[in-house]
Structure formats: C-alpha cells, structure tokens
Amino acid sequence: MAKVQTIILRAPGTNCDAETAYAFQQAGADTTLVHVNQLIRRRQKLADYQIMVLPGGFTYGDDLGAGKVQANELRLKLGEEIARFLEGGGLILGICNGFQAMLKAGILPEPAQGVSTRVTLANNDSGKFECRWIHLAANPKSNCVFTKGIERMYLPVAHGEGKVVATDGILDKLNIALYYTDEKGNRNAGYPDNPNGSMRSIAGLADASGRVFALMPHPERYVRGTQHPQWTRLGIKSSGDGFKIFQNAVSWAQHL
C-alpha cells in the first residue's frame, strides 16, 4: 500500500511545520513542506495529497490580525482547488494559526451555509499571550476523524487570539470536537483551564463531514513521551497525547 501523502503549507512566519511533519512521519505518512506560493503558482497540486495541514506560527506577522493574510490567500487564490480537494475526500488539519486562517478563510465551520463569517477567534480574555499546558476532552458525539477514540488529552497552548466567539444561534450548530477542561474533566472551568475564554470552552471545531478539523492547542508538541513537562516525575508514556490525532488522520487517509 502506498504511503499517505501529507502537504504542510508554509508562509512567512510559520513555525512548528517541522514538528508537524515529524508527527505525521511517525504516524506512517510521507510529508512535503510546501510554501503557499508553490500552490498558487501551480508548481504543486493539492490533488497529489490526501492530507493538507496549516501549522502554527504567526503567518505574515499577523499584522492584519491572526491568520488574516493567509486566509485571504486561501480563499481568493486557492478556494476552488481546496473545494475540489475536499470533494475528493481529502482531510484538512489546522493548528493554532492554522485554525485562525481556516475560520477567516471560510474553510470552517460550514461555508456552504454562510456560517463562517459568524464565527471567529478573538483576543484572549486575559489580554495577554497564553503559553501553558492545558487539559482537554474530546466530544464523544462529534464525528471528527481526528479525535476518534480520544477521551482526554494534555497539550500545550501558545496564542494571543484563541477565543472562539460566535453570533447568537450559531453555537448550537457547530460541530465542537474538542473542549478545554480542568484536570477532572469539568468543561465549565474558568481561567486558566480555559486559557482564552472561548465560548462553551471550545478548543477545536470540525466541519459537518468530520474531515476538516482545527484546534488551538498544539498536538505536534506532544507526540513523544519525553515531551511531557513532568515525564521524569510521572514516568514516560509510550507516546504523547497528541500523537493519536496524527495516527487517526493517516489511518483514515489510507482508505482514500
């Protein structure tokens, strides 16, 4: 069986792309780091891949807002190609800055229903950049491909604009795949367990198909047991909590 092909998009200010590539490689996929201009100029084709990833960072310095410039590129210059990619069954994963770009580009949550413009990511309630490890719980009612079989996770966050906000009536329509919780799994916990003040403690969203997923925490930063901040005290896990997300994606894509 041929290996799953994963494209990881880069732009000025992207980081965590190498870590994301490593995570997918460990999960059994081949990865290619591609600058977004290579897609725009058709030097690379999305059709050659099964998984597309928008990693974390500060693309274009977030000068017009987090992920805004990259979102415009995706929507205006690659919108049709991304639509065909999804029609062919491809998966899309956005991490942190990738989540910000996907929302603002209309890739999430349901652009066909005109919902995307009524959901966004705003400045953290704390008014500062939040860099900490947090507890998470997957939504068992979500059909999200990436969170299948996951109950709880412990992952780091690092962002200044991570608060999910939505207009009235939209929250009930969202496919919430991941929640912020306290260490006991309580979703109603306040700051700092919910590090940005997201409505309904939303940490990650999927589209209706479950094949498009984005989250603010960084799963690529905890794929090995030794990446846990207390691994010497608590012992080493066979793999980090974030690794299952990448394994799920590769397993699904193998059947495309």
How many whole angstroms separate alpha carbon 15 and alpha carbon 21? 11
Residues 6+ apart with CB under 8 A from 43: none
> Is 218 one of the catalytic residues?
yes
Q: Is the dihedral of CA 17, 7, 203, 83 positive or negative?
A: positive
- Specify the 3-state DSSP secondary structure of 101: helix
Q: Quick count: other Cβ atoms within 10 Å of Cβ 99?
A: 30
Residue 77: count of CB within 10 angstroms of its CB = 14
**Cis peptide bond prior to 109, omega within 30° of 0:** yes
- Identified catalytic residue from 144, 161, 220, 228: 220
- The greatest distance separating any two alpha carbons of the chain, rounded to the nearest whole angstrom, comes to 50
Point out the catalytic residue in the list 135, 159, 218, 228.
Answer: 218
Which of 16, 96, 130, 135 does the annotation list as catalytic? 96
Helices (H), the chain: 17-26, 36-40, 68-77, 79-87, 97-105, 231-234, 243-253
Please enumerate in sequence order all residues whose Cβ is within 8 A of that of 66, keeping only pairs 6 or more positions apart, or say none: 58, 97, 100, 121, 159, 160, 161
- Is 135 known to be catalytic? no
**Any idea which residues carry the catalytic annotation?**
96, 218, 220
